[in-house]
Structure 1
Amino acid sequence: MAVTRAGSSAVTSDPQVLRYAAFSDDPAGGNPAGVVPDAAGLDDAAMLGIAARLGYSETAFLTPPPEGLGGAPGRSFTIRYFSPLTEVSFCGHATIASAVALAERIGPGDLVFATPAGVVPVAVGAADGVLRATLTSVEPAVREAASPDLDEALAALGWARADLDPELPPRIAFAGAHHLILAAATRERLADLDYDFDRLSALMRRLGLTTLHLVWRERGNSDGHVFHVRDPFPVGGVVEDPATGAAAAAFGAYVRELGLVATPATLTLHQGHDLGRPGLLTVELRAGDPRSHVSGTATAIPDDAV
């Protein structure tokens, strides 16, 4: 199968590959994702090859839904996610990108995705001509990180325990994929990210982690609901993910588990600024619902941006 970098938002002639920036209304912001709206007939090797040649942190591949998934006719899909190196169980930004790409073609409304991690509903609405998608995560879980694993993660990052915010203890959180959450004590510590790629990748593979979710909490006027975040993603062959919806969903579970905010609440996550690709993610925590609801926009990436 020939894969090129040409075409109007298509990277292959067969199948069609769309390119979207998720969690931004600017193609130069947010996190780029590939979306293959009809991946029927592609095997794992073909999907991995497309994802690797596209080079984004993830590409989503859509096929018909499994029997009994539910949802309105024509609005339910099976979705799989591939990084340049491997398949991942769940990817939030590629889900948001896929939902917006579909809504542009079949209209806003409710979608249902059967992901490797479970069923993920997505609602897409339009306001002032802008499409905004909200995914509902699978059931989350949060657990403590073992002290030796934490020490190894900090060593790979070049951080010390004194660099951590004592009010936000390290945890491993899951809402479709596993993420080690580490909170920096200062914005300067978060900004200065220069880690040992191979060492961190080895630890993450051993622990089954998709990213490290590094956060810094704004205080003062934000009432503790605003965070700046970064996500190293060496297991996917990517130094850093610019906007990470799966980690945002897991972080919502973390915030709820630790009682950092009272529900209902909406968290605002700023990501990608240190990479020059600013993105904005919101995480809604609803009373009586343990799942995270992650929202954002997405926009097509034009030819001349490739």
Structure 2
Amino acid sequence: MEILHYTAFTTDPTGGNRAGVVLDASTLDSSQMQAIATRLGYSESAFLTRREDGSYNVRYFAPSTEVQFCGHATIAAAVALAQAFGTGPLMFHTPVGEIPLDTFVHDGAVRATLTSVDTQVAELSAEVRGRLLTALRLRADELDPALPVLVSFAGNWHPIVPVASAEILASFDYDFDLLAALMAEQGWGATVNVMFRLTGNSFESRNPFPPGGVREDAATGSAAASLGGYLRQVDELELPAVVSVLQGHHMGSPSQLQITIPETGGIQVSGSAVRLEI
């Protein structure tokens, strides 16, 4: 059993979001997977078991809990498989459903594209919205007046919180314990996507991740997919659309995620990953 170390959504080993990848987890039980993820301390790690048809069962663990879906660890695992066995299509069977992937070489780097499960978007009650802003230490006048605060699903439920300026996003801080309690109560098991619209098709994002025991995520594929579903719901773009998400540079770990938003169905999230020698 080999534990691989990758950083996803970057071609620079000093950037991106790190993930542990175990390509053959067939001998591991849940407690062993959790122990490995806890020891690694990455926001998530992916554990794969090959099926007879050549597809893979995949489970994801954060340092403190199992999570239902993780985009950056999915991209890392797909790139690891491509580097080990060659590029091409893959199918991951995850707790939230089937995730088709394609792996390919672009500009000398191996990239992967996942297609999320279909998206859902819901409104927040005024009470929950107010508590969310309190936990995020954001005032109502610091929000983007053109974009609503909603909760969006593409494998995980992510609150989408648009702020009014890059300066507000840069100075963003939050109450870890208060946000953790609210997210546990609401069943939000991943991150909150606090974002700013740079241009029509370009966004900057920060993602606190209290449910996983992580203060902030450097690149969040499931949140990017949820953002794609959100943008489709609020009818902000001409579809199909390609969107760029910048994340992680506030943490010193710059990442870039590409989203393709079709008129219907799952959202495509693309990125590179780099193997780390640790």
TM-score computed with the length of structure 1 as normaliser: 0.89
| Structure 2: unaligned runs, 5 residues or longer | none
Q: Does residue 94 of the first structure (1) align with residue 73 of the second (2)?
A: yes
Q: Does residue 261 of the first structure (1) align with residue 247 of the second (2)?
A: no
Tell me which of 164, 172, 175 is aligned to 1:193. Answer: 172
Moved more, 153-162 or 274-283: 153-162
Q: Does residue 62 of the first structure (1) align with residue 48 of the second (2)?
A: yes
Tell me which of 194, 206, 213 is aligned to 2:193. Answer: 213
Q: Does residue 152 of the first structure (1) align with residue 131 of the second (2)?
A: yes
The 5 Å alignment of 1:1-306 reads: 15-65=1-51, 73-74=53-54, 76-209=55-188, 210-219=190-199, 224-287=200-263, 289-303=264-278
Shift of 1:198: 0.6
Give 1:231's aligned amino acid: N
Deviations 1:10-60 (A, max 9, x none): xxxxx2110000000011101000001111121111110000000000000
* Count of aligned positions: 277
Shift of 1:302: 2.1
CA distance in 1 between partners of 2:100 and 2:17 (Å)? 21
Shift of 1:218: 1.2
| Structure 1: unaligned runs, 5 residues or longer | 1-14, 68-72
CA distance in 1 between partners of 2:72 and 2:179 (Å)? 23
Shift of 1:193: 2.1
CA distance in 2 between partners of 1:192 and 1:106 (Å)? 43
Shift of 1:87: 0.7
Moved over 4 A (4+): none
CA distance in 1 between partners of 2:164 and 2:134 (Å)? 17
Contact 1:27 1:302 in 2 (8 A): no
Percentage of identical aligned residues:
48
User: Cα RMSD over matched residues?
Assistant: 1.0
Larger radius of gyration, structure 1 or 2?
1
CA distance in 1 between partners of 2:271 and 2:211 (Å)? 25
TM-score computed with the length of structure 2 as normaliser: 0.98
CA distance in 2 between partners of 1:214 and 1:53 (Å)? 28
CA distance in 2 between partners of 1:242 and 1:217 (Å)? 18
Contact 2:103 2:113 in 1 (8 A): yes
Give 1:253's aligned amino acid: G
CA distance in 1 between partners of 2:2 and 2:150 (Å)? 39
Give 2:208's aligned amino acid: P
Contact 1:201 1:234 in 2 (8 A): yes
